[in-house]
Amino acid sequence: MNILSMLSATIQKYRKNYLKAVTIIAHYKASPSLSYEEQNALTFLKKHRFLLTNNKMTYLSTFVNRYRRWPLEVSVCEKTGLPYLVHEGKRLFFPKHYTPSLVKSTYRSLLMEQDQASPHRYWSNEVVFKGKTLFDLGSAEGFIALDHIDDLQQVYLFECEPVWMEALEATFEPYAEKVTIVQRYVSDKTDEATKTVRLDDFVKQHNCRVDLVKMDIEGYEEAALEGFCDTLQAQSVELAVCAYHKPEAVTSIVGLLTAAGYTSTLNPRLMCFVYDERPPYFRTGVVNAHKKTTQQV
């Protein structure tokens, strides 16, 4: 691609994203009523709409700025040839084709996601990991599990994408006795042909205790919950379920959890989801849930 073609593509991208910002602002300005969170999000977007033209408007807050220029050092493992960063004293590996620049940007995104001010943060500081079993659905590079690996008793990493397998195995090699990588998609049924697994089937087959579940599986969270009902009712699980991939996902996710006897809490901060043409554009990032106590029932 020559310089003129690259410039033209860049201009088209900026134009498209700018028009997206205009569309989002117009949509919410026309709304007869906005929640407090939506009003805050709209005010921020109107003031910082240029950020959307740079594809940086997932988070409607300036907290992301603290990560922009963090000095990071990327190394390459002599044994595996995989690039890695050191996170909290532990090596976090990435696929071989990742350039140092991509490793750094991916790592910064992971830190942003789990910042205390982030709408994408999975767990509050009150959640206890010591001695617990974690099911990480959509583990990708395994950042969340690695962050708590010293406290966790057992970890099941559900990740089907082949690109992550070698990196996951390298990252968790020092913890092989407590980490199981499950190369399956999670859904409401078990099917070898489609490489899907129903969590109730998996728990029954492996006789697992489940304490913590993180779901970030690109819009298949409802299907995963539908295949997890028996375990949710039989055990007491703390969940962090992503709800931003589809427009009305938060309503159906809360409904499924309520039916299973769980109380849900929504992260009050909203994300600006720019990758979907359908409103709402300001969306809840994560639904947290725990089993209702006797007093709550």
Neighbours of 79 (CB within 10 A): 8
Is there a domain that residue 211 lies in? yes
Is there a domain that residue 98 lies in? no
Is there a domain that residue 104 lies in? no
Residue 1 clears pLDDT 70, i.e. is over it: no
Look at 288 and 52; give whichever has higher pLDDT.
288
Verify that 275 and 193 share a domain, yes or no. yes
Look at 151 and 59; give whichever has higher pLDDT.
151
- Identify residue 33 by its one-letter amino acid code: S
Verify that 164 and 247 share a domain, yes or no. yes
- C-alpha torsion sign, points 155, 168, 101, 54: negative
Verify that 131 and 274 share a domain, yes or no. yes
Q: What is the pLDDT, as a whole number, of residue 200? A: 98
Residue 57 clears pLDDT 70, i.e. is over it: no
- Domain finish residue from 32, 57, 82: 57
**Tens-digit pLDDT profile for residues 111-128:** 999 999 999 999 999 999
**Tens-digit pLDDT profile for residues 3-12:** 777 777 766 7
Residue 51 clears pLDDT 90, i.e. is over it: no
Residue 260 clears pLDDT 80, i.e. is over it: yes
Mean pLDDT, range 280-287, rounded to an integer: 95
Verify that 162 and 267 share a domain, yes or no. yes
- Domain finish residue from 12, 33, 57: 57
- Its domain, for residue 220, covers 127-291
Q: What is the pLDDT, as a whole number, of residue 58? A: 80
Candidate from 57-61, 91-95, 153-157 with smallest mean pLDDT = 57-61
**Tens-digit pLDDT profile for residues 80-110:** 999 999 999 999 999 999 999 999 999 999 9
**Tally of structural domains, the chain:** 2
d(CA 281, CA 29) in angstroms, rounded, equals 13
Residue 259 clears pLDDT 60, i.e. is over it: yes
Residue 227 has which token pair? 């295949």
The overall average pLDDT reported for the chain is: 92
Termini Cα distance of the chain: 62
Verify that 45 and 135 share a domain, yes or no. no
Quick check: 269 and 250 in contact, CB under 8 A? Answer: no
Rounded to the nearest 10°, the torsion over CA 98, 104, 105, 109 is 120
For 198, half-sphere exposure in the C-beta direction (CA atoms, 13 angstrom radius) is 15
- C-alpha torsion sign, points 244, 248, 252, 254: positive
- Supply the pTM of this predicted model: 0.91
d(CA 139, CA 216) in angstroms, rounded, equals 8
Q: What is the pLDDT, as a whole number, of residue 64? A: 86
In angstroms, the Cα distances linking 147 to 50, 99, 151, 190, 247 are 33, 23, 9, 30, 30
DSSP state of 241: E
Look at 52 and 287; give whichever has higher pLDDT.
287
Verify that 152 and 267 share a domain, yes or no. yes
Neighbours of 193 (CB within 10 A): 5
Verify that 161 and 266 share a domain, yes or no. yes
- Domain finish residue from 57, 78, 93: 57
Q: What is the pLDDT, as a whole number, of residue 54? A: 56
Q: Please report, rounded to a whole number, the percentage of residues in the chain having pLDDT higher than 90.
A: 78
Verify that 53 and 190 share a domain, yes or no. no
Is there a domain that residue 263 lies in? yes
Look at 161 and 19; give whichever has higher pLDDT.
161
**Tens-digit pLDDT profile for residues 206-253:** 999 999 999 999 999 999 999 999 999 999 999 999 999 999 999 999
Q: What is the pLDDT, as a whole number, of residue 195? A: 95
- Please return the burial class of 293, using the count of CB atoms within 10 Å of its CB with bins 0-12, 13-18 and 19+: exposed
Q: What is the pLDDT, as a whole number, of residue 129? A: 98
Candidate from 13-22, 153-162, 179-188 with smallest mean pLDDT = 13-22
Residue 297 clears pLDDT 60, i.e. is over it: no
- Identify residue 122 by its one-letter amino acid code: Y
Is there a domain that residue 100 lies in? no
At 178, which CATH number?
A: 3.40.50.150
